[in-house]
Amino acid sequence: MPLDACFCAEIPVIATRVRIVVVRHAAEIPKTSNTGRIAAMALANAVLLDHGLQDQPLDLGPLVEGDARVLFPGGGAPAQGSDVRTLVVLDGSWSHVRGMRWRIPPLERVPSLGLPAPAVAPLRMRRGKSPEQLATIEAVAAALDVLGEPEPAERLRTLFSVMAVRMRDLRGFDMPPKK
């Protein structure tokens, strides 16, 4: 990313009660626009793991024991805020995420956490996405709201706004207006 668009110095340290485990698909690793990585950088109680790398097995076992949920599109009902201690967030394209949910053995037995439909049209860094297809950082913010952590959620949204505007300016297209 060009230095004049860099927002690294603006990434806050955000404390959360819920531990966030971002499992990033290997195809997302080289992308400067990867919002899962940015969320993990900002969240003090987050871990970033990569899935799909040769000779590097992914061991989620100890991270998903107990009161964990997997954030999954069309997933289960929202949980009570105090019920969830660990949230596993799958980071990749929608087709990658659907496959990851079932290809990572420990996740087969972890209940899903669903999200309500977005009340506001989300910001966009890419063209052609439908409103329910959130960037990973937006999905994490929405999940934190559901789990009773609105302040960290709002700080993530603010960070994403900065990132989205910088990326949009680099790419030279207009994002839909925020409602």
pLDDT in tens, 7-63: 888 899 999 999 999 999 888 888 877 899 999 999 999 999 988 776 676 777 778
Closest CA to 87 of 61, 64, 59: 64
Pairing of strands 46-51, 86-91: unpaired
Q: Give pTM, 2 decimals.
A: 0.84
Does residue 108 lie within any of the structural domains? yes
Tokens in use for 109?
Answer: 């037995």
- If one counts the domains in the chain, the total is 1
What is the largest distance, in Å, between two alpha-carbon atoms of the chain? 46
Does residue 177 lie within any of the structural domains? no
Averaged over 111-116, what is the pLDDT?
85
Residue with the two structure tokens 């109680």: 45
Does residue 90 lie within any of the structural domains? yes
CB-count exposure of residue 178 (10 Å: 0-12, 13-18, 19+): exposed
Does residue 1 lie within any of the structural domains? no
Residue 21, strand partner residues: 47, 88
Does residue 7 lie within any of the structural domains? no
Closest CA to 18 of 43, 36, 50: 43
Does residue 107 lie within any of the structural domains? yes
Does residue 127 lie within any of the structural domains? no
Whether 42 contacts 12, CB under 8 Å: yes
- pLDDT of 104: 84
Between 113 and 178, where is the model more confident?
Answer: 113
Q: In the predicted model, what is the mean pLDDT of the chain?
A: 81
Does residue 179 lie within any of the structural domains? no
The domain in which residue 72 lies consists of 12-119+133-171
